[in-house]
Each structure stands twice: as C-alpha cells, then as structure tokens.
Structure 1
Amino acid sequence: MRLVAHLMRALRPAILAGGMALMSAPAGAEAVRMSVDEARGAAARALMAGQAELALVLAEGVLLGAPGDTDALMMKSRALSQLGRSAEAAEAARLVFGGTNDERERFFSAMLMAQARASGGRPGVAQLWLRRAAQMAPDDQLKAVAVRDFRQLRRLTPWRLSLDLSVEPSDNLNGAPRTNRFTFAGLPFVNPSAVPLSGERYVLGADYVRRVPLSETRRLNLGLSTEFQRVRFSQEARDKVPGIKDADYRQDALALSLGYEARGQDGSWLGKSQLSVTRHWLGGQLFADAARLDLSYGQTIAPGLIGALRYGYEVEERHDAAVRDAQTRELGLTLTRAYGRSTLGLDLLVSDTASDSRLVARESARAALSYRLGKPVKGVLPRLTLAWEVTDFDMGPTTFWIEPRRDEELTVSLDLLLPNYDLYGFAPEIGVSFRDRSSNYTIYETRGTDLRLGLKSVF
C-alpha cells in the first residue's frame, strides 16, 4: 500500500518516556537503549528499509513505554502484515481506528486494515476498507491514494461483484399503446385495460464473476447473475384499471455463464466468447429459458479510436406458449472515439428472429449515438444517447390483419452522474429517457417517459 511515507508525515510528538532495552547486544557488550521518540523513528526507518521483524520489535518497545501510542500501533500493524500475521495486523489497526478521533489517523488505520485483510486473503473486505478510507480522507491527495490502491486491488482480485439498485418512476409501466381504440371491419372497438399506467419500478441486480487466469493474456470467466424487478402502480393507475395487481408485473431472472478472454501483449486487441443460460419468471410463473452464445473482437484502429465487432446467437424456449419459441441472430459494430477524457460512441446492430409466431418473427436494425463528457460540468457528468430502431415483422399480427407489421422507435436518454456527492465511492445517478414507437397498426404505437434514480461506483 506504500503507506510508510504517509505514516512518517502523520507522526505526532509524544510524551517522552524512560529509556528501555529493545535489543540485546552480543555477550559482554552493553544493552542498546533509546528513548520512545528514538525507538519510534527507528521503527519507521526499519519499515522503510523492509526490515519488518526489527520494526515490530521496535514498535512493541515503544508500546511498552507508551501504551496505546497511535504511531507505534500503526507501524506494528504494517510490520505484522509484511510478516504474514494478518489477523494480528488487523487487530492493531482496529485499535487505532476505534481509539482516535483524528481524521488523518483514522484514514491511515483504515488503509492498514485494508492491507491486513488483503494480505490475509480477504480482498473483498479489503476493498470495503479502502472505500471507507476514501470516504474519510482528510484531503483530495490522500483520497486519491485510497482510490489508486482500491483500483489496483480490484485488478488483482480474482472475482468481482457488481450490484445494481435503482428506482424508476414511469408514466407507462405496462407499455400500453397511445390509444386503446381500433377499428376492425369498419367497426370501432375499445380495450379498457390497454391504457398507460403510471407508477414506479424497483430493480435489484447482482453480477458475480470469478476470473481464472490461464496465462498473462488469457483467462476464463465464470459468472452468476440475477435480477429482480418489482412495480408499484399509482392510485391513478388503480382507478383506471380496477383490480390490477403489482405482482402480475414482477420479473425475475437468473443466469449462469462461462466466458473466455484473450488479449494482445500490448493491449491493442481483445477477443471474447461467452456461453450463457438464463431462466426468466414473469408474475411469479416460469416464463422462458434461453441459451446464448456471444462472440466479440475489439481492436485499436487508430490512436483514440477503438472498433469492436460482435455476434450473438440465442435460442429461447417459451413456457407460456410453445409457438413463441424463437432463435435470434445478431451482428453488431461499435466505434468509440476518445476526445481527451470524453468519448463519442456509435453502435450499430442488426438482428433476425425466427419463430412460428407471427408476433415474434421479425428483423430489426438499430443505430445509437452516445456522447459522454469526461469532466464534470458544475458537478455533473452527463451522458446523452440517441437511438433509432426499425422492426419489420414477417407477418401481420393476426390472420385478419395480414399486412406485415412495421415499427419505428425513437429513444432519447440523458444520464447525469453526480460524482461530488459520492458516499463510499458510490455516487447518485439520475437518468431520464423518452421513447416513441410508431407503427402501421395503432394498437402497437406507444410513448412513455421513464425516470431512473440509481447508484454508480465512481472508482
């Protein structure tokens, strides 16, 4: 963690204590004696010289003359970590953390706790302590030290856990059409339940990946992910459609994946492949099972420009209606251009879905342009995305509506990250998106605005 230099600057004067014998000299020689201040300085120099055993002896000598000495406890923790005695190192750091109100001492003790947990084989706990250290850092320079160590430890940790927690208010939770009126054979019809319903959607997701190195440039990724979605309709929505139940719109998913990655020695290219299986539930009932293959290859095309090709193939088995089983093929291209710390991205995707169902079989093409600022503007990091998608269905939606259905959808989204309001490295993110879908069948035209309130790691 390279804490010794910081610890040296954090040393404070202590009350002088009587001399003490710290080491025995050879037979016939006098014992080496030094004051508490001298022993404290000698311990720090021993740590900087990589002499952990000597530093431990000196630090414990200081504690004999000045029990509870903060600087000695921190140097003791550092020395114990270097000697592989992580539990004792954590205990020494904890004594400092719980016994001082000085913000610098609490910061350095949190850093030492992280070091002790990392050396003890608990990188996840160490990352939590580094987040804690960054939160309580007395200045930006020390916070940058904690963030740097956090990122370094995360790269070395063989697993990664990502969490997604968000609240998404919407004026059209059920994706209802713009109008619930349609005409058939010259006669008007009304579907009273096909109206936009407002409310909130709650999303909790977790993604765990275990990385297995095969060489310096190749590794396997074993993944487990899950997502839970819940909705709560507003009173206005309940008045529109009496008897509507929140539970009918709950969605759950569980996925397992096996991936392989290979990259160039110079980092100029990256290839990925992944097999995954996913089970979906809707309204508490088993809805679908899917198996998917993803292949991608990305390469630096020019300085600041990265291109990536990807291919996906998915087989979905529906449990609500077997006729809606589907096989989907996708081909995509992504270009990302860096302008300093800002990025401009273009994503193109075409897909073909085969199915016996006239409601599922389709071809689609999508283009998305996004721009992300690299530096905050008045404390805000914005990202703007504009997307256009065209979907052509193979057939009409029913046997009496035979003209093939065609949808065109525009989506505009703006995400605002507030990095200055982070808590333990997690900052609030506010997103708003607007979507407008037109169709040659009015019952499939829809429009809605969603608001997303979530948290995002800024480390």
Structure 2
Amino acid sequence: MIRIRHLLCVTAVAAPGFGAVVAIAGTDDVKAAPVETTVSLGDARALAHVALSRGDADLALKLGTSLLQADARDANALAIVAAAEAQRGNHRASRRAAGRAYRASDDDTSRLKAAQFAARAAMLDKRPTLTQIWLRRAATNTTNPEDIKRIGADYARVRAMNPFSFRIGASVSPSDNVNNGADSALQTIDGVPIVGSLSGSAQALSGTVATTDIALGYRIAQSDTGVTEIGTRLYVKRVSLSSEAKAMAPGFSGADLGSTYADVSIDRRFRWGKPGNTASVGLALGKTWSGGDASYDFASLRASRSVGLGARTRLGFSAALEERKSAVRASQDQTLTTFGAQLSHKLTRGDTVGLSFSLSDVDAGHINQRQSSASVRASYHFGQSIGPAQVTASLIVGQSQYDDFSVGWIAVPGGREDTSFYGDVTFFFADYDYAGFAPSVRLRAGQRQSNVSRYEGAEFSVNFEVKSVF
C-alpha cells in the first residue's frame, strides 16, 4: 500500500486493460483541501497509466515515484517515470529512467520496449551516438525480422544525422601461409638453381592472423551539396605461429610479422552532376610500424568519383598519390601512385555482378622496391540467401613487374615478374546477429607464381569476421 497526498478530483473511468478504475487528477478548485488517500500498488499502477493517457504527467510522476519507494527495481514503475518525464519534456531524466527500466526488466519484450524508449529519449535529448547504442541494445532483445528491419532503418536515419561516426571491425584468420612465404627452400631464378637455400622464415609458415580496425570520424561542415569530415584510423595486425612453424623457423616469432597503421585525415564528399552522382577528395597523414619497429611516415592525397549508369548500374573511379618516408634509410623512400575503376550491376532477379580494375606504380631509390602492378577482380553476390547465409564469390588475378631486381649480388635477367590467382567465397549470416552484428566467414585460396622462386607460394585461409547488419 502507498499513501498519496494531493489536491484530488476523483472520477470513475474505464482504462484499456484495467477495467473500471478510479482516476485521480489535479483539481482547478483553489478552495479544495489536500486529500491523503491510501491505494494498493496495483491500483497505483493503474492510476498512473490513466494519468499518462489523460496527459497528467505530474500525477503520473508522483505515482511512479511512490511505487519506486516501495521497490526501487520495479520495471513498470520506472517505465511510468520515463513516460511521465517525457511528457514533461525532461528527456534526459526520461532516458535515465528508461535505462533503469531496461536493466530491471526480466523479459525480452520489456527490455525491447525500454531500449526503444531510451533511444527515442536520447534522440530528443540530442544525443545521437547514445541513440545508436540504445538501438543496438534493442536489437539484442528480439529475433523478429520486422523488428530488426525497423531498428535498422531507425539506426540508418540516426547515423545520417550524427556528426560523429565510428566503425569497428575485427577478424581472425587461420592460414597455412601467414608470411607470404615460398613453397620450397630451393632458390631458383627462371628455373635455374642458385647458390644457397631459403631460411625457414622465408618459407610458408602456418598460423593465425588477427586484425582490429577502428575508424572514427566527425563531420565539421555540411551543406545541401556536400559534407566535410575529419577522422582517424587505427589498424592492427598480429600473427601467432603454429608449433610446426616455430620448429621450422626457430628464433622467428609472430611478432616479427605484426604491423600497425595509424592516420589522421580530412575528406570532402559532394554531389557532382545528376542526382546520385558523387565525388570526394581527401588527405591523410600517418605512420606504419612493422615487427614492432617504425616502418615509414606517409602523406596521401586521394580522390574518387561515382556515377550512375541507369537504375541498376554504377561506375566508380579512384586515384591516390602517396609519399612514404622510410624510418630505416632514405633509399627506401617511396612514391606510390594508384588508380582504380569499379563497375557494379544489379540483375533483375536481385543478384549483383561486380568488376574492378586497379593499377599501381611504386618509385623508390632501392631497385627491389620499384614495381608496377595490375589486378582485376570479378565478384558475384547472390541476392537471395543460400540456406542461412548471404553468399558472395570473387576471383582476383594480378600481375607485378620489377624491371630491375636482384637476389643478393645476382641480377635477375629481365627483372622479376609475379602472377597471382586467388578466389574466395564469403558467407554472411545476417540472421544470427547480436546487437546488429553478425558473423561472416570467408574461404580464400590462391597461388602466386614468379620467375624468382622466393616469391612463389600458395595459400589457403579461413577468415572469421564480425560485420554490422545495419
């Protein structure tokens, strides 16, 4: 039982779900005296809901607060307080009460409603990032496809409004060639054996590659025609060698194969031409580490263009110029130029076909680092799931040419030439998500051929990754 002291006007009304109850509302009669009444907890909850339906937020808040005095973890009372504070325009207090209701609820349906209410309150409080967090919490409490679809649509709208953006990715990849090593210890040039053999660390080593990729951005300017964003990115790769690899290459560790990439950037994206056609320009400054030691500093200038060719076809172009300053020696400074083109077409049955082409050129002081390369990638994404998975298959063919190359003191006649063939199949299990994140598995196999055997090798790997459904 709880006691309520209030200026009361008592009326019998019917409330949905409660039957006939007594509704209590503030009176406009200034001569009325305060009335103290005692009601059961169940009646107080019913009265609070009626007060909310009549727009009497003050009374609903008093009833909800009184219920919390009886039980501070009463999820229903916390929901009443959240709704009352929302009617009063106190969105921060409403969000906090809804958050407490979420933690106090003991079933998925109640937690889903509380999370959605907290997300709505956070948005009204102008906290879009917190809104996105609450939407992802809501997604953890439902398996209904329609609920997930609505939550995903809300998330996309909030993400578009939020000046702050973030992306977090992680993967684990067991592989039989974590170091891009050679298939054999025998060293040959154009099929002719040369003196010596490859060390264990230069041959293919098995193990596991783990990566973490974190990118943060903040929109500093926006207009009807474009946006400007500053950002930063951190990419970390770490390698663990198998026991067989450690036996083959004693004294060599996975730490020697690890790498880290960090940058800060500014990008401008804008509309160009017909509706849907866009372009971007950007600048990035950063640093890389390899094997725990500084590798090089870099500055990169990039640009892209995307145009629609009808309702189902899109063509894109990209280009970049990067200057690398070696942390080891000046002869390893590099200038990297890249160009790419991408074409995608959605078939009438929903499948998507993609084709991309890239060219790159590296100019460096050291002859073994000067190279030009080209690659082609063809992909096919099935519009309908195959079993529980969304499936994408791709094939990559690439070629690299080193006009001047030497192995120790031996110059390679005509230079070094590598050709690679890789295929992969990705399975994305979007229906097995948690908080809007779902697992993805990629199977990858390929082979690299070269006239210098040190650079010939094969690889088979399985990549486990978590991707956002939203």
TM-score greater than 0.5 by the shorter chain: yes
Report the CA distance between 1:288 and its aligned residue.
1.0
Q: Find 1:376's aligned residue among 367, 373, 385.
A: 385
> What is the CA–CA distance in structure 1 between the aligned matches of 2:62 and 2:86, rounded to whole Å?
18
Q: Find 1:101's aligned residue among 103, 106, 109.
A: 106
Alignment of 1:19-98 (within 5 A): 19-20=23-24, 22-25=25-28, 40-41=49-50, 43-44=52-53, 54-57=55-58, 59-60=60-61, 63=64, 73-74=78-79, 76-78=81-83, 80-81=85-86, 83-98=88-103
Q: Do the aligned residues in 2 keep the contact of 1:253 with 1:281 (CA within 8 Å)?
A: yes
Report the CA distance between 1:308 and its aligned residue.
1.0
What TM-score results when the alignment is normalised by the length of structure 1? 0.87
Q: Find 1:408's aligned residue among 405, 412, 419.
A: 419
State the Cα RMSD in Å: 3.0
Partner of 1:347: 356
Partner of 1:336: 344
> What is the CA–CA distance in structure 2 between the aligned matches of 1:186 and 1:408, rounded to whole Å?
20
Task: Classify the secondary structure of the residue corresponding to 1:136.
Answer: coil
Q: CA 1:94–1:126 in 2, change beyond 3 Å: closer, same or farther?
A: same
Task: Classify the secondary structure of the residue corresponding to 2:255.
Answer: helix
* Unmatched tracts of structure 2, length 5 or more: 1-14, 35-42
What's the % identity of the aligned pairs? 23
Report the CA distance between 1:197 and its aligned residue.
0.8
Task: Classify the secondary structure of the residue corresponding to 1:359.
Answer: helix
Task: Classify the secondary structure of the residue corresponding to 1:131.
Answer: helix
Q: CA 1:99–1:251 in 2, change beyond 3 Å: closer, same or farther?
A: closer
Partner of 1:302: 310
> What is the CA–CA distance in structure 2 between the aligned matches of 1:65 and 1:240, rounded to whole Å?
72
Partner of 1:235: 243
**Farther-moved stretch of structure 1 (270-279 vs 79-88):** 79-88
Say yes or no: does 1:211 pair with 2:214.
Answer: no
Partner of 1:13: 17
**Farther-moved stretch of structure 1 (75-84 vs 387-396):** 75-84
Task: Classify the secondary structure of the residue corresponding to 1:421.
Answer: coil
Q: Do the aligned residues in 2 keep the contact of 1:113 with 1:129 (CA within 8 Å)?
A: yes
- What residue identity is the alignment partner of 2:385? P
Q: Find 1:245's aligned residue among 225, 249, 253.
A: 253
Report the CA distance between 1:16 and its aligned residue.
6.5
**Farther-moved stretch of structure 1 (340-349 vs 445-454):** 340-349
- What residue identity is the alignment partner of 1:181? L
Map Cα deviations across residues 266-314 of structure 1 (whole Å, 9 max, x no partner): 7421110110112011111111111111111111111111111111111
Map Cα deviations across residues 235-254 of structure 1 (whole Å, 9 max, x no partner): 11111112222222221111
Alignment of 1:414-453 (within 5 A): 414-453=425-464
Task: Classify the secondary structure of the residue corresponding to 1:371.
Answer: strand
**Farther-moved stretch of structure 1 (145-154 vs 365-374):** 145-154
Q: CA 1:317–1:94 in 2, change beyond 3 Å: closer, same or farther?
A: closer
* Unmatched tracts of structure 1, length 5 or more: 1-10, 47-53
> What is the CA–CA distance in structure 1 between the aligned matches of 2:77 and 2:316, rounded to whole Å?
53
- What residue identity is the alignment partner of 2:251? G
> What is the CA–CA distance in structure 2 between the aligned matches of 1:128 and 1:221, rounded to whole Å?
21
Q: How many residues align?
A: 440
Report the CA distance between 1:405 and its aligned residue.
1.3
Q: Do the aligned residues in 1 keep the contact of 2:57 with 2:87 (CA within 8 Å)?
A: no
> What is the CA–CA distance in structure 2 between the aligned matches of 1:269 and 1:373, rounded to whole Å?
25
Task: Classify the secondary structure of the residue corresponding to 2:431.
Answer: helix
Q: Do the aligned residues in 2 keep the contact of 1:40 with 1:62 (CA within 8 Å)?
A: no
Q: Find 1:222's aligned residue among 226, 230, 233.
A: 230
Partner of 1:166: 171
Map Cα deviations across residues 411-439 of structure 1 (whole Å, 9 max, x no partner): 11111111121111111111121221111
Say yes or no: does 1:114 pair with 2:119.
Answer: yes
> What is the CA–CA distance in structure 1 between the aligned matches of 2:320 and 2:18, rounded to whole Å?
66
**Farther-moved stretch of structure 1 (265-274 vs 247-256):** 265-274
Task: Classify the secondary structure of the residue corresponding to 2:58.
Answer: helix
> What is the CA–CA distance in structure 1 between the aligned matches of 2:368 and 2:22, rounded to whole Å?
88
> What is the CA–CA distance in structure 1 between the aligned matches of 2:463 and 2:350, rounded to whole Å?
25
- What residue identity is the alignment partner of 2:375? R
> What is the CA–CA distance in structure 2 between the aligned matches of 1:65 and 1:326, rounded to whole Å?
71
Q: Do the aligned residues in 2 keep the contact of 1:300 with 1:306 (CA within 8 Å)?
A: yes
**Farther-moved stretch of structure 1 (191-200 vs 223-232):** 191-200
Report the CA distance between 1:373 and its aligned residue.
2.0
Partner of 1:129: 134
Q: Do the aligned residues in 2 keep the contact of 1:135 with 1:143 (CA within 8 Å)?
A: no
Task: Classify the secondary structure of the residue corresponding to 1:402.
Answer: coil
Q: Do the aligned residues in 2 keep the contact of 1:81 with 1:119 (CA within 8 Å)?
A: no
- What residue identity is the alignment partner of 2:197? V
Q: CA 1:118–1:305 in 2, change beyond 3 Å: closer, same or farther?
A: same
> What is the CA–CA distance in structure 1 between the aligned matches of 2:424 and 2:119, rounded to whole Å?
38
Q: CA 1:209–1:91 in 2, change beyond 3 Å: closer, same or farther?
A: closer
What TM-score results when the alignment is normalised by the length of structure 2? 0.85
